[in-house]
Amino acid sequence: MFVSNFIRIEDILVRPEIAETKFACDLDKCKGACCTLESEYGAPLLEEEIKKIVDVLAKAKKYLPEKNIQIIEADGFFENKEGEFLTRSIDNKDCIFVYYNNGIAKCSIEKAFFEEGTDFRKPISCHLFPIRVSKFGGEVLRYEKFSDCAPALENGAKNNIKLLDFCKDSLIRLYGKKWYSILKETIE
């Protein structure tokens, strides 16, 4: 069901650009820019994700540079900024969990998920990117535009992949298969 400029699925509002924008990451061109956005803080975390990260931390640390490990051991991997949990940032750029592979920033938590068989892939805010969840009396999904993602827009257009489809796994992880199916049916 469409509500003014939103698509409503259950109690979640979805901005139409999520269904309309062509988007598919091109890591060879962007070099993992989403993991290295200039900021005092890294990725937003849900409170329940902190324990999950603690549980996989030993395996994720295997892939990190020594500097990141030292910071985690001295100060922890997250900060509480006015009630919002965020990963630490290295030099106001790299997320604390970034490691580099052939010049591409990648997530050590996700590497541990795929290589070590952990049960936590990465924070949902990272998995959903560039979709952001905002709270305005309920959840609102919006597309957050970054100039560093220009290659993803080109790649999505070239391969006819919509943002909604590119983020299918993360949307299902957050809301379930039924919710995602209803969203797809509503849009189509």
pLDDT at 136: 78
The maximal CA–CA distance of the chain, rounded, in angstroms, is 51
Q: Based on the fold, state whether residues 46 and 122 are members of the same structural domain.
A: yes
The whole-model pTM stands at: 0.91
Q: Based on the fold, state whether residues 125 and 78 are members of the same structural domain.
A: yes
Digit-coded pLDDT (tens) for 59-117? 999 999 999 999 999 999 999 999 999 999 999 999 999 999 999 999 999 999 999 99
Q: Based on the fold, state whether residues 74 and 120 are members of the same structural domain.
A: yes
Digit-coded pLDDT (tens) for 138-187? 899 999 999 999 999 999 999 999 999 999 999 999 999 999 999 999 98
Residue finishing a domain among 97, 129, 161: 129
What is the tally of structural domains in the chain? 2
Q: Based on the fold, state whether residues 11 and 83 are members of the same structural domain.
A: no
Mean pLDDT of the chain: 94
